[in-house]
Amino acid sequence: MSTNEGMQKAPCTRLLLVLLAATRALTPAPKPAAVTRRTAVAGVAALAFASPARARRRNAAEQLRQAVFGAVADDPTVAGALLRLAFHDAVRRADGQTRGADGSIQYEIPDAENVRLGRPLALVMAMKPDGLSVADAVAVAGAAAVEASGGPRIAIGLGRLDASAAAPATLGRPIAQPGDEARDVVKRTLPEPGLSTVGLRRYFRRVGLSDQELVALMGAHTLGRHNTLLNMTKACLRNLTRECLETAPVRAPFESRTPDAFDNSYYSLLLAWDDRSLERGEANFIPTDVALVLDASFRRHVVAFARSEPLFRTTFARAYAKLVR
């Protein structure tokens, strides 16, 4: 193409571009779809509604926290019962269920594992303000019980939905390996007191806790008590019924140095048990307690928590929040 031909075509090209631009400018821009505006309005309305709802839940949770403080001040043994209630609600879950506290404990009180949990549940229900689900209330009450006993303040998320029925008591598929001993096998959704260190680790892995968090959570026994056969009637000793367990006259603390204070003495006493230096009556451990000093990994954390109460408090708070989430 010659230079003259190029010069003749260039103005034509520029003219076409100008005409095209003018046409586009005259074409009205498409209006936003009505659904977009409605969605935006709905979103703003949802936010406006959600914020007061969240505020009401936070206020209700604070009311419950203060009520728990009052209950523990009146009876320090309430703290361990509320903490046990929260644990039983959070860990009893179906295979594959990842959520923790779901309020199903309200349907599970008749089960054998939940002996003596009727009273703390009734207390939570009596203290629970409107605006909190049972699941939220149980989780908040357990955390408040720890704090009221001198433990850390644990941040608890809110907004859980309540279950409409009891969670399964047994796993659909037991957690086991070929060659396992009976105590290694996890069969139930609540931990059995006779689990071996293998079974204990498997159980808490199932609910998402590490060895360190498992050992920290077991430190809840610094507040716990369990039934004994002391002073039971002969009829109860012959036939240990549910009523006998509900009304057992003597309940022994897991550790007797500071049974109503949330501290790390539980771990010091475990090490004393392991060293055979425990004084009579200082502790009333069950097999899953002493399992913590029979396993090298567990024992390492027992030693660390016995040496550092701040480490125990921080780790317990994290483990509890993870358990009930």
pTM score, two decimals? 0.81
Would you state the pLDDT for residue 50? Answer: 55
Would you state the pLDDT for residue 34? Answer: 46
- Report residue 177's pLDDT band, with 50, 70 and 90 as the boundaries: very high
Contact between 130 and 60 under an 8 Å Cβ cutoff? The reply is yes
Contact between 172 and 162 under an 8 Å Cβ cutoff? The reply is no
Q: Which residues pair with 226 in a beta bridge?
A: 252
Domain ranges in the chain with CATH number 1.10.520.10:
44-148
Between CA 315 and CA 64 the distance in angstroms is 24
Q: What is the mean pLDDT of the chain?
A: 85
Q: What CATH code is assigned to 44-148?
A: 1.10.520.10
Between CA 122 and CA 313 the distance in angstroms is 28
Q: Give Cβ neighbours of residue 68 (< 8 Å, ≥ 6 apart).
A: 78, 82, 127, 140, 141, 144, 145, 148
User: Is the pLDDT score of 16 beyond 50?
Assistant: no
- Report residue 52's pLDDT band, with 50, 70 and 90 as the boundaries: confident
Both tokens assigned to 34: 């009505």
Domain ranges in the chain with CATH number 1.10.420.10:
170-324
Question: Which residue did the predictor score with more confidence, 251 or 320?
Answer: 320
pLDDT for 308-319, tens place per residue? 999 999 999 999
DSSP category for residue 291: G
Nearest residue to 264 via CA among 204, 295, 223, 324: 223
Q: Which of 30-44, 73-87, 123-137 has the lowest mean pLDDT?
A: 30-44
Question: Which residue did the predictor score with more confidence, 53 or 178?
Answer: 178
Q: What CATH code is assigned to 170-324?
A: 1.10.420.10
pLDDT for 267-297, tens place per residue? 999 999 988 888 877 888 988 899 999 999 9
Between CA 66 and CA 229 the distance in angstroms is 35
